[in-house]
Amino acid sequence: MLENQLLFIILSEIAIAVSLAIALFMESSSWSVKALAPQDRVGMFISRANIYLYSARFFVLIFSSGLAFYIERNQPSSDVAFLISASLALAAILQLVLLTNNPIGRNVVRLIARCLFLDISAAPLKERHHTSELGLTYLTAMTAFVFGVGAGAPLLLASLLPDYRLSISYTGQIINSFGMLLLLFVVDQRLYRYMDHGNLHAYIDEFTWGRAWGFMLAALMFLVAWAVI
């Protein structure tokens, strides 16, 4: 019986970590799909990629509900912090698959596009550019960090302060709303401007690196929380 319970906990932890990593991978790869859009089919690529993007919400809900169940089974708060950290670290590592110099990532993105019934025969190739866009990397890292904190902090606080779980859940929604506004105003605006100019594919790696750094920083924050709790 004890062995079965231990196996259940381990499988639950794996499912929780993988679900968040998949959700954040889907969010990032939706932009990699948009970067394949030819200038005469931008609208169709955005529409289909957004269907794929919003499907990531299912995995976010699996992560949230799974971690809530994990907490309700009275797992230690330190374990909760470590599990959130591991989830975000895995998400950060998966972002690197999407870098355009990675043949596996290119094939994965093209497979996603084909599954969305998108014609990628005229997809633009990544071109070398000389304009520095580190600003995009920094801004993307900042928004990814906020999203990472917003995904995990409310649940960790709910584990630490069970009497205030309902209030904390709404606080988490405030953090996520701030992250969403930040994303829409400072990151998405740039990415769509690149699409308008037909060169999103030239800057998609800066976006990917920003997501990876942001999630890794959030993972390190929860790792510190694990060490302190």
Tens of pLDDT, residue by residue over 112-138, are 999 999 988 876 665 545 455 778 999
Chain-wide mean pLDDT for the chain?
89
**Whether residue 36 has pLDDT greater than 70:** yes
pLDDT tier for residue 198 given thresholds of 50, 70 and 90: confident
Is position 102 within any domain? yes
Q: What would you report as the CA-atom Rg of the chain, rounded to the nearest whole angstrom?
A: 19
Evaluate if residue 86 carries a pLDDT over 60: yes
Using alpha carbons, select from 92, 204, 102 the residue that is nearest to residue 144: 92
Quote the pLDDT of residue 89. 97
Task: Name the residue range of residue 221's domain.
Answer: 2-121+133-228
Evaluate whether residue 126 is within a structural domain: no
Residue 128 lies in a domain: no
Give the separation between CA 39 and CA 33, rounded to whole angstroms. 14
- Separation of alpha carbons 4 and 1, rounded Å: 5
| b/e sequence 58-72, b meaning 16+ C-beta within 10 Å | ebbebbbebbbebbe
Q: Does 177 reside within a domain? A: yes
C-alpha span between 98 and 35 (Å, rounded): 12
Token duo for residue 127: 């071109």
Average pLDDT over residues 78-98: 96
Q: Which amino acid is at 140?
A: T
What pTM was estimated for this model as a whole? 0.92
Report d(CA 202, CA 188) in Å as an integer.
Answer: 15
Answer yes or no: is pLDDT of 2 > 70: no
Task: Grade residue 173 by pLDDT with cuts at 50, 70 and 90.
Answer: confident
What percent of the chain is predicted at pLDDT more than 70? Answer: 95
C-alpha to C-alpha distance for 58 and 7, rounded to whole angstroms: 24
Contacts of 24 (CB under 8 A, 6+ apart): 56, 91, 94, 95, 147, 211, 215
pLDDT for res 130:
47
Q: According to the model, what pLDDT value does residue 182 have? A: 81
**Element at 205 (helix H, strand E):** helix 200-228
Q: Which two tokens stand for residue 227?
A: 């060490």
Give the side-chain half-sphere CA count within 13 A for 64.
16
Q: Between residues 130 and 182, which one has the greater pLDDT?
A: 182
- Domain tally, the chain: 1
Tokens found for residue 121: 């025969």
Contact 222, 81 (CB under 8 A): yes
What pLDDT score does 132 carry?
57
Residue 198 Cα to chain centre, angstroms: 25
